[in-house]
Amino acid sequence: MASVDRMTALAKEISGKTAIITDFLTSKGLEAASYDANGLAEFPYSPKDEAVFQARLNLAAATKELYDITVGPKQGLRDLAWDCTNNLSLHAIWDFDIAREVPLEGTISYEDLTAKVEANNDLPIGVLNLRRLLRHAMTNRIFCEPVRNHVAHTRSSRLLVEDEPLKSWAGFISNDVWPAVTQAVKAIRKWPASEEPTETPINPALDQSLPWSEFILQDEVFKKRYNLAMQAHGGAAGYAFEYVVRGYDWASLGTPLLSIAGGQKPRLRLLGRGRSLSEPQVCRAGPGRDADPETIGIVPDHLADRVTLTTHDFFTPQAEFAECYFFRHVFHCFSDKYSVQILHTLIPALRRGSRTIINDGALPEPGTASYLEERTARSMDCLMQVTVNTRKREADNWTQLLRGPTRGSASFACGSPRGARCS
């Protein structure tokens, strides 16, 4: 389609999708998300509101495409190349904890703000540097300058004060992951096609030789930030554990034992609601997990006589027999080499009819998902390479991975509950 015709078509689509959303919000007496300091941080609907949820995804894709056409390929490529400065200003805001020094209501001058930030960091940052960084962040709607030389919050900057998991996500990506991103190409050249967890960009970037899962445990502050960051990531649309509960016929499992790898307390509670737990269950956390309530959760009182929490090393033979072995968010942390080893450990305990259920990310076929969904999936795929030398897998990759240990003696199926980002 000619670019002029495409621009016209996109404008019409944007108008139509916007109307679907605003009509829904108006009919419910709701407001849209807003960057006003006291505005809504998210649109007040869920994937269950299917028509409006899909309209939002389509609207985001259409507005992004229209923006790209309007900017043009040449300017777009120039802008893409220096988008790294987005990370610079965000990192500075997180590292110096600037958002906390801006009043939630009203404004503060750059001079007064600089004095507060310098005192808290015992560092002469300087007004010029602070103003430069904040004015750049404002191009991303983080802070605003309603009066010249005075700073105020937007909803985004206020979230860096009030939403600790989201703040941790910003710090985790901008402070912990970004140095590794800059080392990724060098790592590929140094360790081509490596599947080893100690030959990743994160190793030279952070000057350490441990696998990611072990490195996280070395520092309590970093460990807490990582856990909170993953909480923020898991709170995005499509990751809720309710999809697991609704997405499988758990009542069809006729055995008293269900072994869960990678389990945590929210998952346990939801699973308890999702099927009849009339017999004993065993829930297990993975290698490197401490057997403490903060890590693997606490059994709710109404399940205490039927559920046991423990830890288990995925790489040791499975001694517990179960009708079903359930792995959630496990295999995306391991390359194919080590994922096959994990699967092999199940073989001694498997019986005829045993089932292995894997809840993990499955990359969409190119062009089959919305822009937002595909962008998230591709970004996470790159993140897995940077931190643990693994990847997100497409449906065919999952079949190939599972076929190896079973040598063709098992059947496979892959599907995603509607609205879920995991299969």
How does pLDDT run across 210-246, given as a tens digit for each residue?
A: 999 899 989 999 999 999 998 898 766 666 666 676 7
Please check whether residue 362 is in contact with residue 395, taking contact to mean a CB–CB distance below 8 angstroms. Answer: yes
Q: How long is the chain?
A: 423
Q: How far apart are CA 350 and CA 405, in angstroms?
A: 12
Amino acid at 406: T
**What local confidence, expressed as pLDDT, does residue 96 receive?**
98
Alpha-carbon Rg of the chain, whole angstroms?
24
Model confidence pLDDT, tens digit, residues 60-110: 999 999 999 999 999 999 999 999 999 999 999 999 999 999 999 999 999
Reported confidence tier of residue 417, pLDDT bands at 50, 70, 90? low
Identify the burial level of 106 via C-beta atoms within 10 angstroms of its C-beta, where 0-12 means exposed, 13-18 middle and 19 or more buried.
Answer: exposed
Backbone angles phi, psi at 147, to 5 degrees: -125, 135
- For residue 393, the number of C-alpha atoms closer than 13 Å in the C-beta half-sphere is 24
Domains of the chain: 3-79 (no CATH), 82-162 (1.10.10.10), 164-234 (no CATH), 242-406 (3.40.50.150)
Please check whether residue 275 is in contact with residue 251, taking contact to mean a CB–CB distance below 8 angstroms. Answer: yes
Reported confidence tier of residue 48, pLDDT bands at 50, 70, 90? confident
Does 370 score more than 50 pLDDT? yes
Long-range contacts of 211-217 (CB under 8 A, 24+ apart): 211/388, 212/387, 212/388, 213/287, 213/288, 213/333, 213/388, 214/288, 216/288, 217/288
Q: Tell me the two tokens of residue 251.
A: 């009542």
Reported confidence tier of residue 275, pLDDT bands at 50, 70, 90? very low
Model confidence pLDDT, tens digit, residues 304-344: 776 777 777 788 888 777 777 888 888 888 999 999 998 88
User: Would you state the torsion angle of the CA atoms of residues 199, 204, 210, 212, taken in this order, to the nearest 10 degrees?
Assistant: -80
